[in-house]
Chains A and B, each alone.
Chain A
């Protein structure tokens, strides 16, 4: 089973600043990496797949990068509505598909 590790656990960023979230896999997942956003009391929402492809309707301030074992989700100019927990997920080797433990993004 591939283990996904996210850092930091919590990120506090001022509005308008850049947020950078990291995700690491215990073995290569190539570009088979997705990012999800989960706001309090809501279901997760797909943001990024294929490591860097934005899902339909996702604002351009969200971008993903990386391949192999190291990945990054960047939010270029943080908005108040971006306060959420962000999860990475690998879909290279299954079963099972596996998620990271999440990074909570807070607005300063």
Chain B
């Protein structure tokens, strides 16, 4: 059974960097699938942030791309998110999830279905 668990600071000051890690158990990141970050501001809808493959192929939401770094550590079976220059608008529950991939030849691409999800972690941006 695949399980994902987010971890990181719950409170970040404005203009600083938000850093989160997702630990995956029950499945090896090296075995396939994309791995994704999604967020949800309090009382609002869902926003896809980024997807990363174990080969480090990465896709970003254009609205966040300039502030984003996403990385994968296959030795720890984890992937991570860094979001710089945060503001109150970045306050949200951050989820990690597994994303189905589809492959054509030697290239694999995000497939857009997210299952399963981590439980989510609320990150508040405030001084």
Contacts and interface: CB of A to CB of B under 8 A. Distances in A.
Interface of A: 32, 34, 36, 42-46, 49, 55, 87, 89-91, 94-102
Contacts of B114: 34, 36, 44, 46, 89
B79 interface: no
B119 A43 contact: yes
A95 B46 contact: no
Given A44-B46, A45-B117, 19 more contacts: A34-B114, A42-B119, A43-B118, A46-B115, A87-B45, A89-B114, A90-B112, A91-B112, A95-B48, A95-B59, A95-B60, A96-B62, A97-B112, A98-B48, A99-B45, A99-B46, A99-B47, A99-B48, A100-B45
Nearest to A55: B115
A95 B112 contact: no
13 contacts: A32-B112, A43-B97, A43-B117, A43-B120, A44-B95, A91-B112, A91-B113, A96-B47, A97-B48, A97-B110, A99-B45, A99-B46, A102-B45
Interface of B: 45-48, 59-63, 95, 97, 100, 110-120
Nearest to A102: B45
Contacts of B110: 91, 94, 97
A42 B61 CA distance: 24
B95 A43 contact: yes
Contact of A94 (B95, B100, B112): B112
Nearest to A90: B112
B38 to A, nearest CB: 8
Contacts of B113: 34, 46, 49, 91
B104 to A, nearest CB: 15
B62 A95 contact: yes
A27 B47 CA distance: 19
B26 to A, nearest CB: 15
Given A43-B120, A46-B113, A46-B114, A94 B46 contact: no
A89 B47 CA distance: 10
A94 to B, nearest CB: 7
Contacts of A89: 46, 112, 114
